[in-house]
Structure formats: structure tokens, C-alpha cells
Amino acid sequence: MPRDLAAGMHDLSFATTEFVLPHTVLAEHNGTDIAKYHVGIGQRSMSVAAADEDIVTLGAAAAAPVIARHGADRIRTVVFATESSVDQAKSAGVYVHSLLGLPTATRVVELKQACYAATAGLQFALGLVHRDPAQQVLVIASDISKYEADSPGEATQGAAAVAMLIGSDPALMRVEEPSGLFTADVMDFWRPNYRDAALVDGQESVTAYLQAVAGTWKDYTERGGHPLEEFAAFCYHQPFTKMARKAHRHLLNTCGYDTDEERITRAVGQTTAYNEVVGNSYTASVYLALAALLDQADDLGGRSVGFLSYGSGSVAEFFAGTVVPGYREHLRTGAHREAVDRRRPLDHAAYRALHARSFPADGGDHPTPEQTTGPFRLAALRGHKRVYERR
């Protein structure tokens, strides 16, 4: 297999939830100065899943336009990345495979490593394409972030899914070698099997993230990666959008550059538009940043974009992508903006009711209220089995 085969992202689509909670509503409830949210963490609202939405319905909604445009004949693998898994054994991707009517001759797996897993899926997909350039891989990143009510993490909640079609001769972005890698065993964010809501040490998480920024960049440069000044923009994992600015400031410091705000804005300013209104979508976050960049920036054809994918615990990767000339003809800008704009605002009581909702564990027949207007819904939990339907 020729090592110079161009492989990367052929299509990119995202979906989010039926509902949205503005941070003004949260601030009014808990008496917080709204500047703490709008300025302090860089968030304006957060997507909230309906009773009949979950990572499967979001993932299928993100992937359906990709299948509609390209068909499924060349898709031999589906990789579903999530840290909001609905089953300890069965991949959420198998449900998506069924909802989308994909061929039976498909391998489907689920990957987990906090918010990093979608990048692992991307890299695994590239390996499959290099082995067989005729095939394509559907990588889906789908998560619903949930923290305890009135906890410090509550304001960073969110939900979204991104679907990426990976193949040879990509229309959007070629993924380049090398990658810079970093792993460290830290307890900055975790969710034991017996808990619905994650646990987080906020300060430790920021420290671990910045340590990973420096560690991945060191490995990337030692392996012959691009110098910093060759990148047109940087897409960072955004647990909150202010973190992208913190991360890039740290990278500039690591490289001995000035860290003026204008320089940081040029690097990350067009990557935060979707994350600041969707909230933390975990595995999908860094690729929502890419969607925002491509949908807003002047022509980036032929330019390099840097990616820092971070997953607590922790695993991180820095890699580069080259935007393909003519990529704008393949964007889904209108659909992405519609996905954000169509969400229905919640008041605080309605949000709390959804936040507290969970299925009984008795194996009975538990239908869900019809709330979503999206193309797929979780209809019921019946005999411990999740029942999905197309709308």
C-alpha cells in the first residue's frame, strides 16, 4: 500500500438535541452573575436531550445525511465513540446500523476513552482505508454530558453527535502524519459504572489537559511535524470554550511565543461557535470545533489545521489536517445552523424534570413520552431492551 495515499474526511455532519437551556435561565435560578458563564467559561447555552433522545438517536441523526449523500455500498466499518454508553456489551453503533439500514456485511464496534475516543476511531479508520482504499469507514461520536444538579460542572453540560465519513481521496480534509501522543494516569474526570453523573476535579482536569497539550506537541515535533506558524487554525477539545483559549495560550508559551489575545483569537476564534451554544459534547467536541471553523472561515483550501484531542484520565493526541481545495462545495453549513436554531428553549423546571429522568430497572414496559421532532426516537425500554423507531 503506498504511504502517500491521500486519506481523510470525506464528509462531516452533526446533530444535537430537541431542547436547549440558555445559561441566563441557569444563572437566574442559582443567582450566578451571567458573566461567569458568558465570559468565565465561554458558554451561552447547552443542549438538553428529550425523554426519547439518547446517544443512539443523535448518532443516527448525524449519520443519516451522510448515508443519503454517499450511500452505504463502500462502508465496511462503523466506529461509534462515546463515554455515554447505553450498554456494557452491545455497541450503540449496532442500533445505528439498524436504524440506517446499513449492509449486514459491516463490522461495528464501540470505543471508549473519555472525550478522546473519536480521534482513536478516526485513526483506526485511516488504517483500514490505507489497507483497502476502496472502502469507507463511518465514524460516529455521540455523547450526552451530565453532572449533578447545582454542581460546578452543571453549566458545562451539553449533547451532540458528529458523523465523519473517512475514505481515500477525501473532499474535506486530508489527515496527515505524524501524530503526537500522550497518556498519563490521572483522576481528573471519571464516571464509575454505578453512577449516572460524572465526577470531576475541575482544577486537576485543567492541569491534566495543559500537561497533555505540552506532551503531545513535544512528541509531534520530535516526529517531524509542522512548525507552529504553518497552521491556519487549531481545533481543541472544548469541555467549555474558554478552555480552547487556555490550551492555545499554553501551547504558545511552550513554544516560546507571545500570548497576546489577538493571536489566540486568530488561532481558535472561529472554532467555538457551535460548542458555546451546544455545551460539552465529549467525544464530538473537537469535531464540532472543526465544523464551526469550516462553516465560518474564509477559504482554507490547502491550509493546515491543528487538532488537539484530549480525553480525561488521560489520553491525548495532536495531529494535522490539510483542508482540500474546493471543500466548501461539500459543507453542510445550513443544516448545521438549523440543527442549533431548531432547539426549543426550556424553563428551569422542565430542564430539571428531564435531568432527573431515568428508566426503572425492573425490566417492565416503559414507553417514553413523544418529545423529539428528530428523525429517530427511543420509543421504550421493554424487557430490559431498548426499542428505537424511525419517525
Place of cell 497518556: 183
CA gap 289, 119 in Å, rounded: 13
CA gap 181, 64 in Å, rounded: 32
* Residues found in the chain: 391
Contact 113, 317 (CB under 8 A): no
Beta bridge partners of 173: 9, 323
Beta bridge partners of 81: 111, 141
Sheet with 376-382: list strands edge to edge: 365-367, 376-382, 385-390
3-state secondary structure of 281: coil
CA gap 82, 64 in Å, rounded: 18
- In order of 73, 152, 185, the CA distances from 76 in angstroms are 8, 42, 34
Phi and psi dihedrals of 139, rounded to 5? Answer: -105, 125
Beta bridge partners of 309: 317
CA gap 135, 141 in Å, rounded: 20
Q: Which segments within 60-198 are labelled E, that is strand? A: 75-81, 107-111, 136-145, 158-168, 173-175, 180-183, 189-190
CA gap 215, 212 in Å, rounded: 5
CA gap 287, 80 in Å, rounded: 14
Residues forming the active site: 83, 115, 237
Q: How are beta strands 376-382 and 75-81 bridged, if at all?
A: unpaired
